[in-house]
Amino acid sequence: PGSTLTAIVDDPQHLPALPAPKSVEHLAHAKALAKENPAAVAGIVRGWVSGEAVQAKG
């Protein structure tokens, strides 16, 4: 059957924190773009909704 916790051990080894997932960084960039250029973001979303492929300018 199951076992019960009989002791709590203080682990002196401190492990480094994991970095934030890249998706968090991508979301932050997307939010910044939406604030800086809402018309561009609206065009991108409109393309997604209509199913059109948007060509990158450059």
Could you tell me the residue range of the domain that residue 33 belongs to? 20-52
Whether 7 is in a domain gets the answer no
CA angle, residues 21, 24, 28, in degrees to nearest 5:
150
Whether 4 is in a domain gets the answer no
Residues 20 and 10: beta-carbon distance below 8 Å: no
Provide the whole-model pTM: 0.47
Whether 14 is in a domain gets the answer no
Note down pLDDT in tens along the chain; length 58 residues: 577 877 777 777 788 888 878 998 899 999 999 999 999 999 999 999 998 765 656 5
Residue 41 CB-half CA count within 13 A: 10
Give how many domains the chain has, as a whole number: 1
Whether 33 is in a domain gets the answer yes
